[in-house]
Amino acid sequence: MIGNNQSMPIEFDMIGLSSHPELQPLFFTIFFVVYIAALVGNVAITTIIASDSRLHTPMYFFLINLSILDICCTTAAIPKVLQIIQSKKKTVSFPECITQLCIFSTALSAELILLTVMACDRYVAICIPLHYSTIMNRNTCILLAVAVWFLGFLNAIVHTGLILRLKFCKHNIIDHYFCEVPSVLKAACSDTYINNMAVIIADVFLGMACFILTSLSYTHIISTILKIRSAEKKKKAFSTCASHITVVTLLYGGVIYTYIRPGFNYILEADKVMSAFYTIVSPLLNPIIYSLRNKEVINAFKKLLNRIFYPQKYYRKHVFSTYCSLVKGPLNEYVPLPNPEGEVVQKEDGNSEGEFVKISAIMEGNNQSSPIMFYMIGFSNHPDLQPLFVALFLIIYIAALLGNSLITTIIANDSRLHTPMYFFLINLSILDICCTTVTIPMVLQILLSTEKTIPFSECIIQLCIFSSVLGSELMLLTVMGLDRYVAICIPLRYSTIMSKRTCILLAAVVWILGFINSFFQTELILKLTFCQHNILDHFFCEVPSLLNLACSDTFINTVIVIIADIFFGMGCFLLIVISYTYIISAILRIRSADKKKKAFSTCASHLTVVTLYYGGVIYTYVKSTFSNNPEADKVISAVYTFVSPVLNPIIYSLRNKEVLNAVKKLLGSNMIPKR
């Protein structure tokens, strides 16, 4: 450990698990299984609560935040541990270590404060039940959650900032399996007195103060419960607190031990074991603790499983209630439809103004001999806004067409832009044109016509093209992420790896896989049975909305949608996340500020597009298999169907000097006549 040369790259040798080389495969298996189990458990809890309106209460709102923090906590630590176990070189770079420390400290601090807030919530619910809805209202809950995340982040920033002021040797040995404040401080070559003081202050505020508040809350809670005469009510009151007390005991024990003891003495093996409690054990057990003994969560889970395997049963109930709210008539009455091809019947008063049909008959029958029609009521609940919708969609469509056509023309006309990145950008622009062209013209036609209907054949064609484009665009964004990874992380081999042949092959694979996904989805939908009249509460034909209208079993379709979600949604998204993890790591190692800025600028546009696009697609296609909220689905669908294609050309041109120079060159060559 000679020298203190800060100009050399700083690395940390993580020897936390190296003392048992024969157990490395076992450690890898344990950490991997625990990580997957923690992810699945916490995502399941979040999904169950989000999908069941009966669980939309303050207690479960805070539980969702706890699950998200647990995911952050494990994701910040375990993947890097797995990488270190697998690699021969057990080192972590200084930027990676600091990033891990900052994220982990934020999650840990926020979790401690959140458990205190949850204890206060239980105190209000049991000790002041009559004022519970007033005190723990929606605004208060959101404000408390924001305060939790902010204070956690503030604590992490203070510790990270103080650590960045310390001096480290070129090679530093950390006898731990991830970067944590106490272990990093032990590796510092300079004085850590201020850091130790900051740790002690954080211990007092986050550790002891939160623990005392939690203890005081439960002193009052137990005192109130003991005054309840009914044994059944006592048991019910205790059951609402049992899960929280268990989680508090697990988390606080490990955290207080690890963060208070370094100020006095340091036992490495004990610290590794105690760290495992709040890093691995607690996030794994929290979903189990909050679900096994909680009847509300178990019932919500059963309901969720029924929605997955029998989605049409739940959706029809929603469509009936939605449509009846529009026409203001109960299900057993005759109500007006937007020019349905049904029998005109008279109302009880003898008048026969317009066409009427019994709404309960809309979903009846299975007559496949007559043409199947879909009633598109996506915007029918706002008839006064129809002209505004027409103008808005027309402007969006023209803007998307012009913008993407312009980007394609600029790149094609400038030889300096004939690079892999811009080749893929041309493909993205063509896909955006296809996406808007297959949806918006049909939307405009429905808005302008009095008959808000679309034939089955047109709906299937629209669905087929749209699914193909959507799948291709998700994969293309992944390919573009990999292109940036090669350009920044392996620059010397970029021209060899991303050759012309490779780029054409990748583009062909993107289009073919998108078509294969669309072909399977369309083929399976064609095998379903639909009723003669179907109310589609959307503005275009999309796989989730059509599956919810099928009169036959959609189990196989739902399974295929989930598989497509995993491959196109989560699989591609994870590849992008991994690519950018390496990219950011590589950029942070660049010494020149100008080169850092240039490297970041080449990724900024792609990151913005990915965030816009993936956010909407994953929400729609993953959430649709668990629950159905038509209004939210319409808004989110609009993001990746209309908004993204309009913004993509702007995002890739405004902050891109190469494109702006190419535009000037193109305008100059056209405006200035040749002599």
Three-state secondary structure of 251-311 = HHHHHHHHHHHHHCCCCHHHHHHHHHHHHHHHHHHHHHHHHHCCHHHHHHHHHHHHHHHCH
Question: Which pLDDT does position 344 carry in this prediction?
Answer: 35
**pLDDT over 90 (residue 82):** no
Same-domain pairing of 413 and 267: no
Identify the band that residue 529 occupies on the pLDDT scale cut at 50, 70 and 90. Answer: confident
Number of structural domains the chain divides into: 3
Q: Count other Cβ atoms within 10 Å, centred on residue 539.
A: 24
Are 189 and 166 part of one and the same domain?
yes
Any domain includes 4:
no
Among 41-45, 362-366, 541-545, where is mean pLDDT lowest?
A: 362-366
Residue 123 lies in a domain: yes
> Do 468 and 419 reside in the same domain of the chain?
yes
Q: What is the spatial distance between Cα 628 and Cα 605, in angstroms, rounded to a whole number?
A: 32
Residue 508 confidence (pLDDT):
93
Res 360 pLDDT > 60:
no
- The stretch 414-434 carries a mean pLDDT of 89
pLDDT above 90 coverage of the chain, percent: 9
Position with higher pLDDT, 611 vs 346? 611
Q: Give which of 2, 320, 374 is closest to 170, Cα–Cα.
A: 2
pLDDT of residue 669: 55
Q: Considering only 90-94, 322-326, 343-347, which range has the smallest mean pLDDT?
A: 343-347
For 242, the token pair is: 């049992």
Instruction: Kindly report the CATH number assigned to the domain that includes residue 408.
Output: 1.20.1070.10
- For residue 3, the 8-state DSSP code is -
The backbone torsions φ and ψ at residue 455, rounded to the nearest 5 degrees and listed phi first, read -65, 155
> Region 394-411: what's the mean pLDDT?
87
In terms of domains, do 365 and 392 share one? no
Quick one: 365 and 445 in the same domain?
no
Please determine, for residue 507, whether its predicted confidence score (pLDDT) is greater than 90.
Answer: yes
Give 585's pLDDT tier (boundaries 50, 70, 90).
confident
Residue 331's pLDDT is 38
Q: Which of 282, 307, 332 is the last residue of a domain?
A: 307
User: Domain for residue 359, yes or no?
Assistant: yes
98 in Cβ contact with 179 (< 8 Å): yes
State how beta strands 171-174 and 334-336 pair: unpaired
203 and 279 housed in the same domain: yes
Residue 281: pLDDT band (50, 70, 90) is confident
pLDDT, tens only, 261-271:
544 444 555 56
Q: Are residues 275 and 336 in the same domain?
A: no
Q: Are 136 and 184 in a shared domain? A: yes
Neighbours of 432 (CB within 10 A): 27
pLDDT at 332: 39
| Nearest by Cα to 62 from 154, 171, 136 | 136
Assess if residue 36 is contained within a domain: yes
- Look at residue 254 in the predicted model and tell me its pLDDT: 61
Mean pLDDT of the region 200-209: 79
Confidence of residue 596 (pLDDT cuts 50, 70, 90): confident
Phi (first) and psi of residue 370, to 5 degrees: -90, 155
Tell me the residue range of the domain where 466 lies.
383-669
Instruction: Sort strands 373-376 and 533-536 into parallel, antiparallel or unpaired.
Output: parallel
Task: Answer for the pair 528, 554: CB distance below 8 angstroms, yes or no.
Answer: yes
Q: H/E element holding 92?
A: strand 91-93
Q: 496 or 171: whose pLDDT is higher?
A: 496
Provide the pLDDT for residue 627: 47
Q: SS3 helix, strand, coil % of the chain, rounded to 5?
A: 75, 5, 20
Q: One-letter amino acid identity for 109?
A: S
Round to whole Å and give the CA distance between 613 and 579: 17
| pLDDT at position 423 | 92
Q: Which residue has the higher pLDDT, 105 or 642?
A: 105
Q: Which of 60-64, 169-173, 506-510, 518-522 has the lowest mean pLDDT?
A: 169-173
pLDDT, residue 479, reads 92
Query: pLDDT value at position 47?
Result: 84
- The residue with greater pLDDT, 368 or 147, is 147
**650: pLDDT confidence band, cut at 50, 70 and 90?**
confident
Tokens of 599: 């490297």
Same domain, 412 and 368: no
- Predicted confidence at residue 170, as pLDDT, reads 65
Domain-located, residue 104: yes
Q: Of 72-81, 154-163, 275-284, 492-501, which range is least confident?
A: 275-284
pLDDT given at position 328? 39
Quick one: pLDDT band at residue 365, thresholds 50, 70, 90?
Answer: very low
User: At residue 356, does pLDDT exceed 70?
Assistant: no
**Could you tell me if 120 and 221 lie in one domain?**
yes
Which pLDDT belongs to residue 383?
Answer: 72
pLDDT tens digits along 444-484 = 888 887 777 888 888 888 889 988 998 898 889 889 988 98
Cβ partners under 8 Å of residue 199, min gap 6: 159, 181, 182, 185, 259, 262, 263
Question: What is the distance between the alpha carbons of residues 66 and 498, in angstroms, rounded to a whole number?
Answer: 43
Give the pLDDT of residue 548.
78
**Would you say residue 432 has pLDDT above 70?**
yes
pLDDT tens, position by position, 143-176: 999 999 999 999 999 999 899 888 887 667 877 7
* Eight-state DSSP code of residue 17: T
265 with 317, same domain?
A: no
**Farthest CA pair distance, the chain:** 101
Least confident of 161-165, 303-307, 322-326, 571-575: 322-326
CA distance 532 to 372: 5
Q: Which alpha helices (DSSP H) does 332-385 contain, by range?
A: none
Q: Within 449-592, where are the H helices?
A: 456-489, 494-497, 500-526, 543-547, 555-564, 572-588
Question: Is residue 348, in this structure, part of any structural domain at all?
Answer: no
Q: Classify residue 377: in a domain, yes or no.
A: no
CA atoms in the 13 A half-sphere facing the CB of 412: 10
Per-residue confidence (pLDDT) for residue 253, from 0 to 100: 63
Least reliable range by pLDDT among 363-372, 422-431, 640-649? 363-372
| pLDDT confidence of residue 175 | 74
Contact 524, 560 (CB under 8 A): yes
Report the candidate in 382, 433, 372, 439 with the shortest Cα–Cα distance to residue 407: 433
Q: Which of 195, 172, 165 is nearest to 182 (CA)?
A: 195
Q: What is the mean pLDDT of the chain?
A: 76
Regarding whether 561 and 598 lie in a shared domain, the answer is yes
**Region of poorest pLDDT, from 43-52, 188-197, 321-330, 636-645:** 321-330
Q: Is residue 317 part of a domain?
A: yes
φ and ψ at residue 351, rounded to 5 degrees: -80, 150
Burial 575-588 (b: 16+ CB within 10 A, else e): bbeebbeebbebbe
Cα gap 309→553, rounded to integer Å: 9
